[in-house]
């Protein structure tokens, strides 16, 4: 009876019809990737009697958050025989089963119950942690078993992206497709209206939501509009070093947290952000060597107030360590209560005059785009900046703006266009000093 089943699959998803240990589909809203995997799941259970499938997510507080309803709808739409929909699972033809669970709640021991399963499908795989991915991959060890992933990419460093879109993906033999709304022949008119509205009114998130690009900003982030404007005005581009201007580095000091460093040059009219460096658990020598290797060995290091604090073990100030390494150092005074918001306000004032070197500031801009307010949803009040992975880059960026702005708040001038001379091969000439010093 399964031979009479008809599936309508968009051309973009055709590679997923063939056997592969790893299959992935990534893209924006309206591509139909979840619907395709749900249909392929139903088809697999019809073709292979007794098929066992785990539909997993990183966190699943209830079945309402799972793909269960979508699979049920596909069974009904396809008029697929032999399925029995139960309260917590779906029984498949020949004594098989489809179950729905969150992986975060599992341990190495509990996940062993899935050893004999044939398929694993993770919806919203961008949320999957490295721990969960490491748990599930060796667990499905049955011959011919497959792991399926569908997701809208968020960060390049997310575990699923690193696995299926990184350098080692070819070694895995992974079949990965990209699909967006335009690849869906059945893209509904109501979603077309939603897409056009977001394109016009939410340019800061449109490319991620609808075009499946990595998120450059989080909706409601402090610098969402600033980054979108910088992109629209062409201030995220190829920014050369001006040999006539001093190179400065602005630091956020981390011991257990991340260390974040922005590198740039300042003129009377603009700030050119040349580079971004971040690390965790590394000694100071690592950052010193990194700065030298990138050509910033003569830079002025601008530190937050804790740069003048003595280390509890060595009793030596962080600023003195940098001076001993041959750097010039300036430590900014403590801004006191509300320092985080003062940095944010300074950054917003200066943003129209800031240019970013596109290739070397990707991870830093990603952090700026995710830096947002912590909120009390019950009282609908803001609690100040949320301290998470994005706050280190944002704090050092704010320090850059506070230190560059000076004691008097300078009103940001509109972005200015600069004449850039291109040499052979498209490289930017240093002649002329494009910051207008």
How far apart CA 280 and CA 292 sit, in angstroms, is: 19
User: Would 2-183 and 224-426 be classified into the same CATH topology?
Assistant: no
How far apart CA 392 and CA 364 sit, in angstroms, is: 9
Would you place residue 431 in the very low, low, confident or very high pLDDT band (cuts 50, 70, 90)? very low
Q: pLDDT value at position 380? A: 60
Instruction: Say if residues 12 and 56 touch (Cβ distance below 8 Å).
Output: no
Q: What is the mean pLDDT of residues 56-66?
A: 85
Q: What is the pLDDT of residues 72-100, one digit of tens each?
A: 999 999 999 999 999 999 999 999 999 99
Q: Residue ranges of the domains in the chain? A: 2-183, 224-426
How far apart CA 126 and CA 16 sit, in angstroms, is: 19
Q: pLDDT value at position 269? A: 87
User: E-assigned strands of 204-353?
Assistant: 236-237, 248-252, 258-266, 271-280, 300-303, 328-331
Q: CB-based contacts of 300: which residues, under 8 Å, 6+ apart?
A: 246, 247, 248, 249, 327, 328, 329, 330
Q: pLDDT value at position 1? A: 42
How far apart CA 46 and CA 78 sit, in angstroms, is: 11
The whole-model pTM stands at 0.63
Instruction: Say if residues 346 and 401 touch (Cβ distance below 8 Å).
Output: yes
Cβ count near 159 (within 10 Å): 20
Helices 362-370 & 224-232, crossing angle to 10 degrees? 140
Domain 2-183, what architecture? 3-Layer(aba) Sandwich (3.40)
Instruction: Say if residues 30 and 206 touch (Cβ distance below 8 Å).
Output: no
CATH for 224-426, options being 3.40.30.10, 3.20.20.70, 3.30.420.280, 3.30.43.10: 3.30.420.280
Instruction: For residue 13, give both structure tokens.
Output: 């998803």
Instruction: Say if residues 372 and 218 touch (Cβ distance below 8 Å).
Output: yes
Identify which of 57-61, 177-181, 414-418 has the greatest average pLDDT.
177-181
Would you place residue 208 in the very low, low, confident or very high pLDDT band (cuts 50, 70, 90)? confident
> Which residue intervals of 118-158 are DSSP H helices?
130-139
Instruction: For residue 407, give both structure tokens.
Output: 């004691």
């Amino acid at each position: 009876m399964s031979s009479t089943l008809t599936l309508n699959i968009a051309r973009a998803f055709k590679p997923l019809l063939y056997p592969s240990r790893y299959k992935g589909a990534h893209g924006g809203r309206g591509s139909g990737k979840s619907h395709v995997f749900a249909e392929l799941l139903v088809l697999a259970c019809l073709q292979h009697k007794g098929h066992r499938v785990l539909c997993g997510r990183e966190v699943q507080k209830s079945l309402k958050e799972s793909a269960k309803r979508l699979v049920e709808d596909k069974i009904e739409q396809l008029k697929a025989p032999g399925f029995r929909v139960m309260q917590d699972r779906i029984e498949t033809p020949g004594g098989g089963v489809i179950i729905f669970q969150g992986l975060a709640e599992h341990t190495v021991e509990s996940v062993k119950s899935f050893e004999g399963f044939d398929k694993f499908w993770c919806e919203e795989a961008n949320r999957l942690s490295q721990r969960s991915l490491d748990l599930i991959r060796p667990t499905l060890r049955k011959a011919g078993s497959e792991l399926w992933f569908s997701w809208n990419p968020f960060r390049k460093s997310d575990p699923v992206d690193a696995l299926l879109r990184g350098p080692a993906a070819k070694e895995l033999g992974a079949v990965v497709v990209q699909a967006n709304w335009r690849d869906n022949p059945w893209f509904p008119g109501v979603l077309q209206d939603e897409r056009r509205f977001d394109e016009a009114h939410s340019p800061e998130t449109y490319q991620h939501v609808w075009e499946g690009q990595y998120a450059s900003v989080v909706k409601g982030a402090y610098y969402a509009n600033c980054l979108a404007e910088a992109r629209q005005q062409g201030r995220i581009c190829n920014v050369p070093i001006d040999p006539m201007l001093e190179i400065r580095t602005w630091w956020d000091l981390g011991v257990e947290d991340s260390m974040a460093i922005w590198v740039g040059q300042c003129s009377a009219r603009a700030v050119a952000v040349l580079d971004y460096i971040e690390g965790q658990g590394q000694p100071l020598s690592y950052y010193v060597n990194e700065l030298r290797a990138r050509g910033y060995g003569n830079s002025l290091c601008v530190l937050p107030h804790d740069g003048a604090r003595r280390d509890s073990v060595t009793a030596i100030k962080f600023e003195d360590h940098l001076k001993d390494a041959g750097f010039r150092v300036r430590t900014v005074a403590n801004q006191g209560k509300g320092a985080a918001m003062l940095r944010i306000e300074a950054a917003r004032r200066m943003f129209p005059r800031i240019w970013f070197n596109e290739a070397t500031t990707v991870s830093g801009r990603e952090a700026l785009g995710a830096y947002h307010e912590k909120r009390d949803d019950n009282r609908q009040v803001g609690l100040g900046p949320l301290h998470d992975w994005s706050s280190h880059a944002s704090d050092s960026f704010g320090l850059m703006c506070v230190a560059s702005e000076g004691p008097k708040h300078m009103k940001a001038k509109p972005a200015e266009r600069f004449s850039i001379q291109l040499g052979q091969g498209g490289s930017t000439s240093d002649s002329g000093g494009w910051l207008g010093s």
